[in-house]
Amino acid sequence: MNFTSLTFWVFFALVFSTYWLLREHSWQNALLLFASYVFYAWLAPWYAVLLGVSTLTDFFLARQMKQQKDKAKTYLVLSLILNLGVLALFKYYNFFNTQVAEALTSIGLSADWLFINVLLPAGLSFYTLKKLAYMIDVSRGTLEPSDDLLSFALFVSFFPQIIAGPIDRYQKLIPQIEQKRVWQSSFFYSAWPLIVMGLFKKIVVADSIKPIVDRIFSLDEPSMVLVLAGTLGFTLEILADFSAYTDLSRGVAQLLGFNTSENFNRPYLSLTPTEFWNRWHITLSAWLRDYIFFPIRRALLRRKEPLPNWLLLSIPPLVTMFISGIWHGAGLTFMIWGIYYGVLIAGYQLIGLRGDWKPAGRLKTFFAWLIMFSLIAFGWLIFRAPSMTWLSNIFLHSEWTHGREDRIVASILLSRTILYSLPLVIKYLLDQYSPRGFIQPFYYAVLTLGVIIFIGSATSDFIYFQF
């Protein structure tokens, strides 16, 4: 059941109408919790069982932290082992099972049991980070543990967010879960533009670019010109796909009276890698900053023997972005992609270009943007490449083009990429120069018509489901 399917909207219509008929907010929460588990179990019933067990475990561990303050660290470590263990098992099992099985077979042990395919439950990476933030904050004493299991379970499983975020913190969602919610027309007026935009970006932009991009990245030895076109196509596809999910998630949450976090703020206009990560997948970046980057940096600063400045500037981003890479998936490409951003952030900082850096003059700004955009696109090439061997072959052995056909296909994809990115560029210009007035509603009407013309009976899954 994804946000662009009819099944979801029928499900949501039922939840929405029943939800606002209930006056008591505890009943509303109970309904939302039930709906969230139905939504999640729709993908696979055992996902919901895993979610339920892990939610219960963290709820009780957090309460134990409060009751036995001297053992708070032990409970935190237990929670980290459980959460990260489950995440690692599902995320990396399939990456390693063949190698482990081969090793066992080579020493004469039967490895059949290892071949049972373990599928990563959708959204596990997202709700694990939500729970970890809660557990760490409770252990630090900056957050009181919840004594309401229903509210806590709803915070973890809230269906607009469970599959692919935004990764909202307990401090943001719980006050909204615990307050009385009465229908206001403003909910609808804030939600509809998000829903129209989300549907357009997914159905018209991302799904139209995806097939040709997928084909290019499946070719054995594509020429450079195809890889360049494919990379630019994927750069648009991943933004459209993921930000569409966030828009739809926020729109749906808004209709239920919840204000959830923005995840994207024109990331491709960034001038530095730090700025990019402040604008791209904002809730994940904030999580990584608060629970990985700052603690590492604090630990380095507290050392008795101070480290040289270049190490102080390099180690935290490198470790943080490496973790970000492996959070996105098992595989060398994700690790290298993470390290790549770690190196970029450290490199920019070492030459004095911090996240808030703004060059003087339009020409300098343009070149700073062009360089950063190229670096972002190159990052997506590493991210999307089927393997590092494939990528190195492209750079070492590929020709610029294999012939006229390559140039034709590349020009078709580039035309698509430019055409489908135009609505996003127009939206940016409208927000800048005409935020009020008739033109914005007209723009959304055009998008709606686009959705009607492009809608198919089957829409492919959102890319970030797999993380």
The residues carrying an active-site annotation are 328
Q: Is 217 in the site for other proteins (CB under 8 A)?
A: yes
Encoding tokens for residue 173? 């969602």
- 357, two tokens: 């850096």
Q: Which of residues 393-422 bind other proteins (CB under 8 A)?
A: 404-409, 411-412, 414-416, 419
- Under the binding rule (CB under 8 A), the answer on residue 301 touching other proteins is no
Which residues in 190-209 contact other proteins (CB under 8 A)? Answer: 192-193
Cα separation, 248 vs 177, whole angstroms: 20
Query: CA nearest 265: which of 467, 417, 431, 451?
Result: 431
Burial (CB count within 10 angstroms: exposed 0-12, middle 13-18, buried 19+), residue 10? exposed
- 331 φψ region: left (φ > 0), alpha (ψ -120 to 50), beta (else): left
Residue 126 or 217: which CB sits closer to other proteins?
217
- Tokens 């943080």 map to which residue? 320
Contact pattern for other proteins over residues 90 through 129, marking x by CB under 8 A:
----------------------x--x-x------------
End-to-end CA distance of the chain: give it in Å, rounded. Answer: 17
In the bound state with other proteins, the residue whose beta carbon lies nearer, of 67 and 98, is 98
DSSP code at position 263: -
Minimum CB–partner distance for residue 295 and other proteins (Å): 39
For the bound state, the minimum distance from the C-beta of residue 373 to other proteins, rounded and expressed in Å, comes to: 21
For residue 116, give the 3-state DSSP assignment. coil
DSSP class of residue 162? T
Assess 27 for contact with other proteins (CB under 8 A). no
**Contacting residue, 226, 238, 240, 284, with other proteins by CB under 8 A:** 226
Binding of other proteins by 305 (CB under 8 A): no
Position of tokens 């190195």?
392
Q: Which is nearer to other proteins, 235 or 417 (CB)?
A: 417
Contact status: 454 vs other proteins (CB under 8 A): yes
Among 81, 269, 425, 446, binds other proteins (CB under 8 A): 446
**In angstroms, what is the C-alpha Rg of the chain?**
23
Q: Which residues bind other proteins (CB under 8 A)?
A: 6, 112, 115, 117, 185, 188-189, 192-193, 214-215, 217-221, 226, 386, 390, 404-409, 411-412, 414-416, 419, 438, 440-442, 444-446, 448-449, 452-457
